[in-house]
Structure 1
């Protein structure tokens, strides 16, 4: 190489490393004008162009020079990075593997190959690669961070935390790196350690926005909403882009029961950024809690959400055999295969499926595996970790597994990879969501017949076909016979009637509170106990009390309860004579528990999405008369129940017999019907041409 070219290369490299890309590109092209096949200049220019997102030009240059510089593992890795950036993942993986195969354990190749193997579900391979990397570079920050995540996904919690602690040490005094470790802790379910790291970052830079946002989020995870909101508002004043901060604020305000405030925040986010799919999904879920809403309008909004945010994909040709009586492969996908109500509600169904008729594959998008995750794994014929994977990769995995029916367990939740359904991952697709998903790619909405007895299902307001069940599909968790049903409290408490609403504050609509006020006004010797874990926090309690005051409820008629330990919950229900289900949404698991404790509840079924779940479980035990269809009817039923303590005591005394004798509470029967329903959906597909 001539002295002129050497000088130009030095100048180009100096500009490149000095972050002067335009100058560097000009010099590299000058070299190529003088020496068109100069491999070193091609390699450096290709690397520069990759950093600018000009991947097509970069790949052409890499492929021109690779025969000359391929012995350099860095060049091969740079080529792989360009391939990955252009979406050619398999080719990128092959190049990283070649770099390792030809040149030994090259750190860059080890790290990037591990990074690409994790979303493909190859956790064991990734851990091996990262172990080799850290053997060479023990303080490799990115490697330690990735190693911790991979180990945690494999259930090696202690080793994962050790790796994250080492990453925190390697972060030194760089706030951004410290916050990345904190975010990893938060995502994996350790808000305490995350809080400490965010505080460490803020001790270095008190105005570091990611630190303020993260500290607010970690405090919110620990139920300290008042402090969290103050930090997030400070972060918002300092930030240029506030979307992420606003999403955390919206999540907090929703948990604390301020649905209108949540909607206001999310609509402002979407006004500035209409393509924010997470904000739109959370907005849809928030609107489903409005008793003043309209079911038909909600269905339209759900369809608009799906149309705006879901990818468009042609239906593939499935390799599944069209055999109507074969053993079906059923897939469930959810971000909640962990400590979550879905285990209580669906665990019994999963355990009782006839494995001669069906195979159950679980696709876990769970960010924080725990002991309940292990219980789900035991019930699965096939277990697939898909958290963090691209929806297209998940869909490909499902097709390779030849799943016949893919079932969504939670609808358009912000953490659910719902796009998998838009990509037609299985021949038949269904959802257990209590509300329409708005997605035409989901063929069926599976639910109790009473859920579909309103106008919305009958006037074709749903995007999916209603698949009606006589029983289930939800069941209560394990029924505990060790504690007896308590006597009716009113019989021993000077005839004072105590109502109870044991639910999330977000589900207690303003209309529900106004009904509570009317009940208390009509029944002078009455009180209401409200329980939700978030009431431990001062902001949540104040927000709720402000709402009750506006509804006309006197503070001295309210008993508020925050977190109640599992062993103390029977004592909580022992204080309640009559349950009050909020509307339009309820926590189903709480109302199963309420019934098992002997407490009947009054519900309101309307045409709003998700509003008929209370009716479904009351009808299953012959108490559908306790479900009203108007707010006046809701209040009247509460008054009627309170006037006949003898009848109320009898209902309480016989409640467990009602449950034991109800076919809908018999897990094998619910499982058989669910299998038959799946068989019917599959046969319908087999008959199509």
Structure 2
């Protein structure tokens, strides 16, 4: 959501030493840091207002990036005057920067205790709490601060951040509107307004606020990154890619901004696999290798048959598509031979998070914790195999892996591609997604192919029963698309219009967040009308709950998979509700997910190898209601007996793989 500008309280110039402090601050402002420090250093401990002198010296040290000296100076200032709120506030910022969250929280609270109306300390304390997933406490802090007579835009903005974090977008908008009424050119306010509106599916309104933020602060990477995400969700892939590229150019030192670019590159049909892999390696060289080269390798007991400690790192230990695949692993692992530790980078925990906590041997919240500290926790926990569940997707913690905190490191599940990292030893996949000899050259990691599927699926519970075949009641076939709308290109829509033309009177149901926007729905209908398909044959719904989504799926006869990026969670849900999915396989892992899912069920006949075959498969299937009814009757039992539906068999297979790579590590590292 853009740069986080901490509120640093500047020294006031009204003490008996005002002239000296003023001169030092002028020197500092002119870039004469050494002279400013020398001037003040010569006066501290010589009488005068020690607190103000030490505070001014701390401020200059802090501004010059000499944090240790700044810490010492602020502590001296507080020793002389314990009620100096400005020193407590800035001390808190230094602690927060170093990940010393408890000390930072105490410092900010001390500042507020001595100066109850100090907005800077309120903002900094609230931000710290939000970063730790304690947004409800932050709301209380900010609401208290707002009772004062003046209400700066920054405080209203901070409260909006907290309300978004507790999933109250309406309240967030109220305070963003107030912030922007106080400061119409406040770029962070426009940027966050765009994010909240994007969350709510109000695409056009969000676009205008992102563009306004970029107009005000063209050198800020935050609005461009968010704009790229919105454009991608609307299927405007080339524009999204260009904005993501520009964001990386503005902030080449930020690994998550660069990861965002890598994620968006998967939507660019014009980009070759070589180009994507080259960018992964650039990410590695720029962000990960400098860390890896300084890393401290963990000491470990090289015993082949010991009880292995597996660590999972993820931002998605919550209700999220990944939860349907990590749930069987966490709930069903063999506790006699393995211990499982979860390192949760979840900013908004939910009920699913609490369930996962109960299953894990150990749980650590790492949201807001520096990579170095997380890596040390992993060493202290004596993790043998550390598993990344995010890849280059949002809020990943790949730089934790750059510290090489565990002997064996694996990427898995969250993103169907490699990381490009030298520090990542393996990637778990299967022979459907990554046939032998096809994709090894595009991986820095060694590929580990499970003998069945690389994933195991836990169906939503409860899920509606599978109903009767809709076309028997409707008199027409209903196709459906439930994939993330960002996977649906204009080219794909054109192919679907061919299917619609081949099946007269058929309908096509879409369900996706951007379709909350009436303008986007109208645009979608007009596209099909331009291809000879009446607009009233296109039905669109925005975001719904999981239960409403599953009910909608039951109203569909045949689902159409997206490509080149196939669905995964959506495809599994759709099959579970008795609806066959027509997919198309390509050469990359992301374009072979449908093949993996359907192949694991022996349903390769639903997977096309080219566009004409894809259209023919969908059209032919629509003319066989008996096949569709039989599919509905048998699919759930077939899933439960498949390699990706039988969690007992899957966990045994996965744990055997973990044991094998551990034994290999022991063999390679024993003298």
Q: What range describes the TM-score normalised by the shorter chain of this pair?
A: 0.7 to 0.9
CA contact (8 A) 2:229 2:240 kept: yes
CA contact (8 A) 2:324 2:460 kept: no
Among 409, 417, 431, the residue aligned to 1:435: 417
Bigger drift between 441-450 and 87-96 goes to: 87-96
Q: Superposition pairs for residues 621-632 of structure 1, below 5 Å?
A: 621-632=601-612
1:227 aligns with 2:205: yes
Q: Compute the displacement of 1:431 (Å).
A: 0.7
CA distance change for structure 1 residues 167 and 356 in 2, over 3 Å: closer, same or farther? farther
In structure 2, the partner of 1:58 is none
Q: Secondary structure at the match of 2:433?
A: helix
- Which runs of 5 or more structure 2 residues have no equivalent in the other structure? 1-14
In structure 2, the partner of 1:15 is 23
Q: Which one has a larger percent helix, Structure 1 or Structure 2?
A: 1
Q: Deviations over 1:237-264 (max 9, x none)?
A: 3334253222221111112222222123
In structure 1, the partner of 2:173 is 195
In structure 1, the partner of 2:433 is 451
1:501 aligns with 2:481: yes
In the superposition, the TM-score normalised over structure 1's length comes to 0.84
CA contact (8 A) 1:13 1:24 kept: no
Q: Secondary structure at the match of 1:460?
A: helix
CA distance change for structure 1 residues 77 and 360 in 2, over 3 Å: closer, same or farther? farther
Q: Compute the displacement of 1:200 (Å).
A: 1.1
Q: Secondary structure at the match of 1:438?
A: coil
Q: Superposition pairs for residues 628-667 of structure 1, below 5 Å?
A: 628-667=608-647
Q: Deviations over 1:397-432 (max 9, x none)?
A: 322322222211111124222222223222211111
1:134 aligns with 2:112: yes
Q: Distance in 2 between matches of 1:306 and 1:155?
A: 29
Q: Superposition pairs for residues 305-344 of structure 1, below 5 Å?
A: 305-312=283-290, 313-314=292-293, 315-344=295-324
In structure 1, the partner of 2:4 is none
In structure 1, the partner of 2:521 is 541
Q: Superposition pairs for residues 95-110 of structure 1, below 5 Å?
A: 107=85, 110=88
Q: Distance in 2 between matches of 1:13 and 1:97?
A: 18
Q: Compute the displacement of 1:594 (Å).
A: 0.8
CA contact (8 A) 1:69 1:75 kept: no
Q: Distance in 2 between matches of 1:188 and 1:91?
A: 38
CA contact (8 A) 2:132 2:368 kept: no
Which has the higher Rg, Structure 1 or Structure 2?
A: 1
Bigger drift between 615-624 and 372-381 goes to: 372-381
Among 412, 419, 426, the residue aligned to 2:399: 419
- Which runs of 5 or more structure 1 residues have no equivalent in the other structure? 1-6, 33-39, 45-64
Q: Secondary structure at the match of 1:590?
A: helix
CA contact (8 A) 2:297 2:404 kept: no
Bigger drift between 429-438 and 75-84 goes to: 75-84
Q: Secondary structure at the match of 2:507?
A: strand
In structure 2, the partner of 1:238 is 216
CA distance change for structure 1 residues 86 and 11 in 2, over 3 Å: closer, same or farther? closer
Q: Distance in 2 between matches of 1:455 and 1:632?
A: 27
Bigger drift between 537-546 and 669-678 goes to: 537-546
1:476 aligns with 2:476: no
In structure 1, the partner of 2:281 is 303
Q: Superposition pairs for residues 581-620 of structure 1, below 5 Å?
A: 581-620=561-600
CA contact (8 A) 2:221 2:248 kept: no
Q: Distance in 1 between matches of 2:447 and 2:34?
A: 63
Q: Secondary structure at the match of 1:425?
A: coil
Q: Distance in 2 between matches of 1:308 and 1:230?
A: 33
In structure 2, the partner of 1:528 is 508
In structure 1, the partner of 2:544 is 564
In structure 2, the partner of 1:517 is 497
In structure 2, the partner of 1:47 is none
Corresponding residue pairs, total: 651
CA contact (8 A) 2:557 2:579 kept: yes
CA contact (8 A) 1:293 1:608 kept: no
Q: Secondary structure at the match of 1:450?
A: coil
Q: Secondary structure at the match of 2:442?
A: coil
Among 163, 171, 183, the residue aligned to 1:205: 183
In structure 1, the partner of 2:468 is 487
Q: Compute the displacement of 1:92 (Å).
A: 7.2
Q: Distance in 2 between matches of 1:328 and 1:102?
A: 53
Q: Deviations over 1:294-334 (max 9, x none)?
A: 33443233223333343423253321222222222222112
Q: Distance in 2 between matches of 1:26 and 1:90?
A: 16
Among 526, 535, 539, the residue aligned to 1:555: 535
1:253 aligns with 2:231: yes
CA contact (8 A) 2:224 2:246 kept: no
CA distance change for structure 1 residues 370 and 80 in 2, over 3 Å: closer, same or farther? farther
Q: Compute the displacement of 1:105 (Å).
A: 7.1
Q: Distance in 2 between matches of 1:43 and 1:336?
A: 53
Q: Secondary structure at the match of 1:463?
A: coil
In structure 1, the partner of 2:360 is 380
CA contact (8 A) 2:428 2:449 kept: yes
Q: Distance in 1 between matches of 2:582 and 2:103?
A: 54
Q: Distance in 1 between matches of 2:351 and 2:68?
A: 34
RMSD: 3.6
